[in-house]
């Protein structure tokens, strides 16, 4: 990766705190590979209501749109990872991503961590770009 930016912070006793979310906040992580900018949103909530009402998922499209405007020279792709991906939540976020003409990837946390652990840089990039293209073309 060419650059990784984490917007959380470390509190007392080394406890990590997530990035301040919400419409005007930042995503959890942004990373760059070549001309691609990936906006990564991570949640540990399992239930669809907790994922949405906690502003975890509801702010995802806003964060992607924000980075698309900030970096018009980059190809922006959103990634949402959670313990489980609920169909209705995915449909809602896909619809919003399509409106912004941005690729959006949905992947369970365990699968994402496996990809991060075992993929080379080029395979990781190829996987992410291929997954985003499938979404945009569907």
CATH of residue 131's domain is: 3.40.91.50
Is the model more confident about 49 or about 121?
A: 121
Can you give the pTM of this predicted structure? 0.83
pLDDT of residue 15: 87
pLDDT digits (tens, 9 = 90+) for 86-107: 888 888 888 887 887 777 889 9
pLDDT digits (tens, 9 = 90+) for 113-137: 998 888 888 899 998 988 887 766 6
DSSP per-residue letters across 55-120:
TTTTTHHHHHHHHHHH-TTSEEEEEEEESS--HHHHHHHHHHHHHTT-EEEEEEHHHHHHHHHH--
Task: Tell me how many domains the chain contains.
Answer: 1
| Rounded-to-10 torsion of CA 21, 80, 28, 2 | -150
In which domain, by residue range, is 117 found?
3-137
């Amino acid at each position: 990766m060419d650059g990784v930016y984490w917007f959380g912070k470390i509190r007392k006793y080394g406890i990590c705190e997530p990035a301040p979310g919400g419409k005007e906040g930042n995503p959890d992580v942004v990373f760059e590979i070549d001309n691609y900018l990936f906006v990564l949103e991570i949640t540990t909530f399992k239930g669809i209501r907790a994922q949405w009402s906690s502003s975890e998922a509801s702010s995802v499209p806003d964060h992607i749109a924000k980075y698309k405007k900030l970096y018009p020279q980059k190809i922006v792709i959103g990634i949402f990872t959670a313990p489980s991906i609920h169909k209705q939540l995915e449909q809602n976020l896909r619809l919003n991503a399509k409106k912004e003409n941005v690729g959006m990837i949905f992947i369970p946390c365990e699968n994402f961590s496996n990809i991060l652990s075992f993929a080379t840089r080029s395979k990781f990039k190829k996987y992410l770009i291929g997954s985003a293209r499938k979404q945009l073309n569907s």
